[in-house]
Each structure stands twice: as C-alpha cells, then as structure tokens.
Amino acid sequence: MTAPTSLRNARTDGCRSILLLTLSVAGLLHGCGQPERDVEAEIALLVDTAQASVEAGDAGSVIDILSQDYADAEGRNRRAMAFLVRTQLGRYQRLKTLVTDLSVVAISDQLATAGMTVSLIGSDSRRPAWTGIDADRVRLELALRREDGRWYVSGARWGPPGTIPH
C-alpha cells in the first residue's frame, strides 16, 4: 500500500512528533511477565493501540505511555512532548495513520526497540477543507522499557524515510 507523501513541509515537524507519541501508546499494554518471545507481539499490539488513540484524539493516553525520563533526538523531554501532543491533536481533529515495516528487536524482557515507517494525513481545523490537508511519511525508531510490567517509550528518533537507519 502506498502512503501519502509530504504536502506541506513547513508543518510536518509537529505531525512527526505527534505520530511518534501516537505510536508510543503501545505502552498502555501490560507485559504481565510474558516471556521474551512475546515482546514483538506486545509491541505490535501497542502500536495498534497507539494508532487508535491518536485517531481518537486521546492525548492523555498518548502522554501516559511516555517514561518519566523520556528524551528524544531533538532534545525534548516528557513535558515538552506532552505539550506537543496536546497541541497537535487539538489542531488535527481528523487524523489518520498507517504503519508499515514494523520491526521489533527484544534486547531483554525489559528493553526493546521498534522501528517502523509511519504515514499520516490530517485535516487542520484552522484552514478550509480544500487547503487544510497535511500529509507526511516518516521513519520512526523507538526505545522501549518495561517498568512495573508496563511498556513505556523512553526515547525516539525520526526523520524522512532513508535518513534513519533500520
């Protein structure tokens, strides 16, 4: 399936950041002491849950999956990402996401990484319908940590496909 390409470069940083957090909602799922071989399935389900939260505009669920010591490649901490999530979900009231090429690497039963290509299309509530559509496609790499039986996103990096190694 072909994902939409960027229509508006000037407004994509916010979309990328909200996508990052959206996909991170996977941390809402509990690990329940499952063996390492289930980490991939847990994180795939986490990604599905994150997508649903973003598309529903549920900023709280997205923010809740961020580790207290979250830090991303752009220097954002948990508080900065929470602000960005609330801002972007308020701006893009109709947001659709597509995740492809998901790959999960279980480092241990407590640590994992997940890489994926994320495409999104959103309708900017501040502009007329025919000019208010933004679309983007990014490569997203997440660092995940299980704390008290629950997955949290502890870090991330993202950029245009081909710029972030798989």
Distance CA 96, CA 85 (A): 15
- Summarize pLDDT for 103-152 with one digit per residue, the tens: 999 999 899 999 999 998 888 777 766 677 888 899 999 999 999 988 99
Contact between residue 143 and residue 66 where contact means Cβ atoms under 8 Å apart: no
Query: What does the mean pLDDT of the chain come to?
Result: 79
Residue 93's pLDDT band (cuts 50, 70, 90) = confident
Tell whether 4 is covered by a domain: no
The predicted structure's pLDDT at residue 126: 72
Tell whether 131 is covered by a domain: yes
Q: Which domain holds residue 74?
A: 9-159
- Summarize pLDDT for 12-36 with one digit per residue, the tens: 455 455 544 444 443 333 344 444 4
Tell whether 3 is covered by a domain: no
Tell whether 54 is covered by a domain: yes
Tell whether 13 is covered by a domain: yes
Q: Say how many domains are in the chain.
A: 1
List the 150-159 sheet strands across, edge first. Answer: 66-72, 150-159, 133-147, 111-124, 92-106
Contact between residue 88 and residue 15 where contact means Cβ atoms under 8 Å apart: yes
Q: Is the C-alpha dihedral spanning 135, 138, 143, 146 positive or negative?
A: positive
2-37 core/surface letters (b: 16 or more CB in 10 A; e: else): ebeebeeeebbebbbbbbbbbbbbbbbbebeeeeee
Tell whether 166 is covered by a domain: no
Find the CATH number of the domain harbouring 83.
3.10.450.50
List the structure tokens of 91.
């701006």
Tell whether 1 is covered by a domain: no
